[in-house]
Amino acid sequence: MSIMEENYMEERNIVVAVDESEESMYALSWCLRNLLSQNRKPTTTLILLYIKPPLDVTGYLFAGDVIATMEKHNSDLTNSVMSRAEAIYKNFEPTVKVEKKIGSGDAKNAICLAVEKLGADILVMGCHDYGFFKRALLGSVSDYCAKHVKCPLVVVKRPRTAQMRDDM
Amino acid sequence: MSIMEENYMEERNIVVAVDESEESMYALSWCLRNLLSQNRKPTTTLILLYIKPPLDVTGYLFAGDVIATMEKHNSDLTNSVMSRAEAIYKNFEPTVKVEKKIGSGDAKNAICLAVEKLGADILVMGCHDYGFFKRALLGSVSDYCAKHVKCPLVVVKRPRTAQMRDDM
């Protein structure tokens, strides 16, 4: 099959991995501007994927109210991330078909599994511009996804001028 | 500055790193379909970047005609890559403003330097789906670029069905 004979995809699922970071919100905004331009058919679905931090309390003796507080915190975080994302795509013209998916667990594994399950055509994610030590300790979610997802991956870095001081 | 206050970019340089691989040609085709849709302003420039393998003959005693043959091979390779790329973008509607840039040296360093120099807004590259050992030996150009370029990077993987047997 020649490359050019391939049909233009009529239906596309674009998955944007969102989290609490400014970087992920910037990636969402970039995606709207660059991948969902005005003549896109309404068959493109933007899927916002948020992976909650795992709430693993096995082996710990937490009082019931502590666990409830942790769960509440997790749920507040999810709402906060999705509200911020909503504020970004609501301003975008034309209206985009949006779905929200919430997962939990280790972000990099959970994103790769979700991308496969959702039949994503493109995965978009932000990139924390960590220094050497932070990267060595934490690993990089985008590195992992680049190795493991099957679809095209867009790693969006925020331009230096738009970066906040907290990513030092 | 809020994310949404940012101006839409009027002029964009999209750099596609091309080489002899099917993966890079697929990435170019993906870029045309997904990043250069029909309502894009003609101010978007598609820059095809090809990095020739280094021709380092220092310290070797090659006869002049051997060097000439190596140079000829390198030049043939460049023409072949650019012709294949041309066949892809020529078929694309609407006409795209294309520039061709040739560099030489170690691909990953040369790409990162060129991206900076060309003021790229987006870098698009293919991805060789190497196995563990090949990746460990060769490293990955896209991994390196993900760490070092400042602009959004698109790593395009060819869908399994379109992959050839030679990337085992």
Calpha distance B54→A72 (Å, rounded): 58
Residues of B with CB below 8 A from A142's CB?
146
Tell me how close the Cα of B61 comes to any Cα of chain A, in angstroms: 41
- Tell which residue, A124, A128, A123, has the closest CA to residue A139: A128
Tell me how close the Cα of B153 comes to any Cα of chain A, in angstroms: 5
Calpha distance B144→B111 (Å, rounded): 10
* pLDDT tens-digit readout, B55-94: 766 666 677 778 788 888 888 999 999 999 999 999 887 7
More confident residue, A68 or A118: A118
Nearest to B33 among A8, A88, A157 (CB): A8
Domain ranges of chain A: 3-167
Within an 8 Å CB–CB cutoff, is residue B7 touching chain A?
Answer: no
User: Is A31's pLDDT higher than 90?
Assistant: yes
Tell me how close the Cα of B17 comes to any Cα of chain A, in angstroms: 15
User: Is A2's pLDDT higher than 60?
Assistant: no
Calpha distance A124→B9 (Å, rounded): 19
- Tell which residue, B9, B151, B143, B155, has the closest CA to residue A158: B151
Instruction: Determine whether the interchain pair A157/B156 forms a contact, defined as Cβ–Cβ distance below 8 Å.
Output: no
Q: What is the CATH number of domain A3-167?
A: 3.40.50.620
Per-residue tokens: B34: 């997904």
Within an 8 Å CB–CB cutoff, is residue B16 touching chain A?
Answer: no
A:B CB pairs within 8 Å: 87
- Tell which residue, B127, B123, B126, B100, has the closest CA to residue B113: B123
Mean pLDDT (whole number) for A105-127? 93
DSSP state of B44: E
Residues of A with CB below 8 A from B8's CB?
33
Tell me how close the Cα of B154 comes to any Cα of chain A, in angstroms: 4
- Return phi, psi of residue A126, to 5°: -80, 175
Mean pLDDT (whole number) for B139-143? 78
Report pLDDT for A133. 62
* Chain B interface, best mutation among A3, A13, A39, A122, by max B CB count within 10 A: A3
Per-residue tokens: A156: 């969006």
Residues of A with CB below 8 A from B30's CB?
152
User: Is B163's pLDDT higher than 60?
Assistant: no
